[in-house]
């Protein structure tokens, strides 16, 4: 049985694999994230937020699932191997930020990190970030 929660007249479905409630995402986001040749049938899609679940996206009815390994970009909060993306627009990884803070010691504020890496300065989150921004 699939769990569903009602939120302001929207139905939020649970992942058909892990049964945790996901985050609603726009179809345009999913279309930009899937590898070439993968068709998206569902109109209402959700991002599975469970770190150890292999499902990235699923349809409201649970009949369609898209796995993490079918995506172009890794989902940062999923259990993925490095490099772990932090800013998808500027292609900045966790390792790059740690380098600037801990090794190069050139960054001690968010503004420093933005200046040195370009993180959090893009405008394409809707299509480049798997969560849609």
- Asked whether residue 9 falls in the same domain as residue 61, the answer is yes
Looking at 64, 79, 94, the residue that finishes a domain is: 79
pLDDT greater than 70 at residue 2: no
pLDDT greater than 80 at residue 7: no
pLDDT greater than 70 at residue 103: yes
- Asked whether residue 93 falls in the same domain as residue 46, the answer is no
Domain span including residue 127: 82-133
Predicted confidence (pLDDT) per residue in 10-48, tens digit: 567 899 999 999 999 999 999 999 999 999 988 899 999
* Long-range contact set of residues 83-89: C-beta below 8 Å, sequence gap at least 24: 86/119, 87/117, 87/118, 87/119, 87/120, 87/121, 87/122, 88/122, 88/124, 88/125, 88/128, 88/129, 88/130, 89/121, 89/122, 89/123, 89/124, 89/125, 89/128, 89/129
- Asked whether residue 75 falls in the same domain as residue 86, the answer is no
- Asked whether residue 65 falls in the same domain as residue 93, the answer is no
DSSP three-state, residue 70: helix
- Asked whether residue 123 falls in the same domain as residue 96, the answer is yes
- Asked whether residue 45 falls in the same domain as residue 9, the answer is yes
Global pTM?
A: 0.81
* Confidence label for 122 from pLDDT (cuts 50, 70 and 90): confident
* Confidence label for 130 from pLDDT (cuts 50, 70 and 90): very high
pLDDT greater than 50 at residue 8: no
pLDDT reported for residue 9: 42
- Asked whether residue 73 falls in the same domain as residue 32, the answer is yes
Structurally, the chain folds into a number of domains equal to 2
Tokens encoding 46: 């959700």
Using CA atoms, how far apart are residues 60 and 73, in angstroms rounded to an integer?
22
Q: Which CATH number fits the domain that encloses residue 99?
A: 1.10.10.1100
- Asked whether residue 17 falls in the same domain as residue 60, the answer is yes
Predicted confidence (pLDDT) per residue in 42-98, tens digit: 889 999 999 999 999 999 999 999 999 999 999 999 998 899 899 999 999 999 999
The values of phi and psi at residue 15, to 5°, are -60, 135
pLDDT reported for residue 123: 87
């Amino acid at each position: 049985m699939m769990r569903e929660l009602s939120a302001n007249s929207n139905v939020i479905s649970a992942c058909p694999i892990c049964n945790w409630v996901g985050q609603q995402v726009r179809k345009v986001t999913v279309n930009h994230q899937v590898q070439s040749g993968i068709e998206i049938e569902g109109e209402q899609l959700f991002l599975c937020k469970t770190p150890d679940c292999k499902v990235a996206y699923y349809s409201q009815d649970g009949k369609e699932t898209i796995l993490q390994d079918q995506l172009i970009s890794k989902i940062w909060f999923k259990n993925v191997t490095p490099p772990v993306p932090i800013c998808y627009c500027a292609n900045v990884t966790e390792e790059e930020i740690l380098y600037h803070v801990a090794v190069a010691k050139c960054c001690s504020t968010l503004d420093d990190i933005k200046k040195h890496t370009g993180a959090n300065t893009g405008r394409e989150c809707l299509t480049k970030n798997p969560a849609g921004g």
